[in-house]
Structure 1
């Protein structure tokens, strides 16, 4: 039986530079020219041999490597060097292919304003601000950001924000851009214009010091809901149970799911809502455990896979024999069929109607679960937004000075049709997106839609 343990994607959409806690200006760079050449060349080599979606690229990997090498050779510090490595990996547009860690010498001191921003459609809005701050303007709440640094917001996003984001789909990248829209070098200001709900346009000039000034006593408006420290929780909406699972790691989460489902079933709910919004993934075995609660069948299907295969003899033959062309072009794959897994007979399947909530940050092993059930007869209805669109057993690559990157090596295939899961997340059956006003008021459109549907059964 093939088993894949997928790395949990912590802090969805987090740009590696945002993790920096200190400026690099006073830290001596540790990478020699030899280190820099080796690091980029190692990444290029692993991409050539192992990156799973190499057959879907619209550019030449060798050309990208050569152009990046020119830039790497003229970097004068580690900050600029790691930026070039990040840009190289971002070119592959895969959320499991990125620079993960670096020495302090490569980190910039990045901070955020005392406001939160979010994307709605093709527009970006202020949706939250910190209270009791003299430099915060409450008028900006709910205002559309129409201009940043003297350019239209979308132009600014395309030029400065999207190039810094890692993701597998444009939707995921744009939503991530909405979250990190105003971030930048700590202590610097960002200016722009905002269209308020009353129709007035006001200027803003905001300092990026949100982390530098943050305290445990900070309060926000609207109030930010604190996430439960528990990974698996459940609540009730009258006779409808709501099961929230925030991640699929560690493997002991399977026991927590079993216990929660047992308690829910004992109370004979009229419906069950499984909330997987923001679930960053973890272990596929946990996803399979949840799947077993949703079917009466004796067995369940788990996704098929594709991975790269490299054969020296095949590449040699590919010089003149078209039968080996894929090996010659580094585009040969091995396909593994979907697994049929016997369902644990001790699990009593849920009897009531089920709805599953998903969003942009349903990711990785969480998407494994959704891939597995998507074509399953009689599956639960999916409500919410398109998921992140990224899964696939990443290879961790160690670079000089304890830096590391990861590279996607596995392509999931829907277990019934064997269709590749690529270039698009899981689409909901019923799309439920809040307006900016609904979001600010805390109205959970997806939850309300799920309750309405389950009440009609």
Structure 2
């Protein structure tokens, strides 16, 4: 199968190497410094980004360049510069072009991300409304399901509308962007924790909340004190018990009954796993076959993607007939990186800088590979799982998991159940990256290098499941997994 997918693990691995020294967090960036940074960013995008005009025309992109440039004509703090560059990259509508949370320098992370300015609760969004999930403040009234109406006198709808402009996503599919604004408190970074305190900082070291408890008419105000992300996680574990703290915790397999297995894969970032993931899958499918299990539910909800090899392994395990993954054009904008931009670019493979002899130039100005770079067909496997497969999906599925969904749906290998995915049928950019380090602000920006675009025109949206299940608020509040329950009902009817 072709290398469709951005390998997130490489970003994480590379984030500690090859960086320029960081600026002091208190340093003021001058217009000349900022405009020089932007000139470099603009040049890199125009010369190397394959999807700059994928979702909007050149005149629109030119206006985006001009608007961002105008904002850099005064002295700015690092946080102000980070916000401007983040909003600009988000406006390009590429889900893999952003000021990476993971790849910034340690001092930038400490200055911008790791402060004691986080809300002391986690929440889920429903219909662009914010509801408490876990509360670790001293205010007992913030029970699960309590709606946050305002924070520091700003309506939540206004907050969401503001933050979504800074969140990466492919095209005009906002489902992934909204999904990324949920706050779980897990992992190293989340978009809400990054952008909310920068845009709406605490006032007098406090967040004033206007709230409404579920099934109660009264609206009241309370104050809570901000905490750090690490402090919040520790308090969550103290109050709510052990939480998933490693990527291993996101993989599980069990038999729900004598006829149905359940495989949860919460990440494809395999290089950060301590388990042998291939052996894990081997054991799971061996058990399914040994016990003659008739149905398999694979749950990839919440999983953006990672290593595309997981798709190959899963595909082979399910290939009771040949699987043909959708064909894509693989397009690049360059053959060799110029000396002008080379000092500002890092990556994990030096061959990305010079592709001489590997490409052919197309009439539309793009390049593509001389040789086919992979196999988009998985041959029939006589030892594949022979039962019925159900794939549970949601808006998080936007990279490798997006393509897994597309391949299994196209070949009718699995019944897709859940909600519309993230990602975009018009294509995505990724596979290989440059890490662009702006010389003055020292902000890092991920630049994808390969465009993966469908052979025929597709709509600007995610993948619709075969069976769409809409959640209502009571389902979420009751902690019912309606998607899983409906899938089991579907199985029982067969």
Q: TM-score, normalised by structure 2?
A: 0.74
Partner of 1:73, secondary structure, is: coil
Partner of 1:83, secondary structure, is: helix
Matched, 1:200 2:210: no
Matched, 1:450 2:456: no
Equivalent-residue separation in structure 2 for 1:112 and 1:421 (angstroms): 40
Q: Which moved more, 1:420-429 or 1:89-98?
A: 420-429
State the shift of 1:97 in Å: 0.9
Alignment of 1:6-85 (within 5 A): 6-8=6-8, 27-29=25-27, 35-49=33-47, 50-57=49-56, 59-85=59-85
Q: Which residue of 2 aligns with 1:398?
A: 436
Structure 1 residues 28, 155: closer, same or farther in 2, change over 3 A? Answer: closer
Structure 1 residues 364, 348: closer, same or farther in 2, change over 3 A? Answer: same
Structure 1 residues 141, 298: closer, same or farther in 2, change over 3 A? Answer: closer
Q: Which residue of 2 aligns with 1:115?
A: 121
Aligned 8 A contact 1:356 1:380 in 2: yes
Matched, 1:286 2:310: yes
Structure 1 residues 325, 368: closer, same or farther in 2, change over 3 A? Answer: closer
State the shift of 1:433 in Å: 4.3
Partner of 1:138, secondary structure, is: coil
State the shift of 1:403 in Å: 3.9
Structure 1 residues 253, 75: closer, same or farther in 2, change over 3 A? Answer: farther
Match of 2:395 among 344, 349, 360: 360
Q: Which residue of 2 aligns with 1:440?
A: 477
Equivalent-residue separation in structure 2 for 1:292 and 1:354 (angstroms): 13
Partner of 2:99, secondary structure, is: strand
State the shift of 1:87 in Å: 1.9
Partner of 1:209, secondary structure, is: coil
Q: Which residue of 2 aligns with 1:250?
A: 270
State the shift of 1:98 in Å: 0.2
Q: Which residue of 1 aligns with 2:141?
A: 138
Equivalent-residue separation in structure 1 for 2:226 and 2:299 (angstroms): 33
Q: Which residue of 2 aligns with 1:296?
A: 320
Equivalent-residue separation in structure 1 for 2:409 and 2:414 (angstroms): 9
Q: Which residue of 2 aligns with 1:166?
A: 168
State the shift of 1:62 in Å: 3.0
In the TM superposition, what whole-angstrom CA distance separates every residue of 1:318-359 from its partner, at most 9, and x where no partner exists?
xxxxxx9954xxxx57598994435374x6111111111112
Matched, 1:261 2:263: no
In the TM superposition, what whole-angstrom CA distance separates every residue of 1:245-298 from its partner, at most 9, and x where no partner exists?
122233763443233212222111121100111223112222122112223224
Q: Which moved more, 1:205-214 or 1:242-251?
A: 205-214
Q: Which moved more, 1:174-183 or 1:51-60?
A: 174-183
Q: Which consecutive residues of structure 1, in runs of 5 or more, have no partner in the other structure?
A: 17-23, 312-323
Q: Which residue of 1 aligns with 2:160?
A: 157
Equivalent-residue separation in structure 2 for 1:10 and 1:2 (angstroms): 18
Q: Which residue of 2 aligns with 1:381?
A: 415
Equivalent-residue separation in structure 2 for 1:3 and 1:448 (angstroms): 34
Matched, 1:307 2:345: no
Structure 1 residues 61, 333: closer, same or farther in 2, change over 3 A? Answer: farther
Match of 1:175 among 175, 179, 197: 179
Matched, 1:277 2:314: no
Structure 1 residues 48, 249: closer, same or farther in 2, change over 3 A? Answer: same
Equivalent-residue separation in structure 1 for 2:126 and 2:229 (angstroms): 25
State the shift of 1:35 in Å: 5.0
Equivalent-residue separation in structure 2 for 1:34 and 1:361 (angstroms): 39
Alignment of 1:178-257 (within 5 A): 178-179=182-183, 183-184=196-197, 185=201, 188-196=205-213, 197-211=215-229, 213-214=231-232, 216=234, 218-219=236-237, 226=244, 229-230=248-249, 232-239=251-258, 240-250=260-270, 253-257=277-281
Computed over aligned residues only, the root mean square deviation of the Cα atoms, in angstroms, reads 3.7
Equivalent-residue separation in structure 2 for 1:420 and 1:128 (angstroms): 43
Equivalent-residue separation in structure 1 for 2:266 and 2:252 (angstroms): 9
Partner of 1:96, secondary structure, is: coil
* Aligned residue pairs, count: 423
State the shift of 1:225 in Å: 5.3
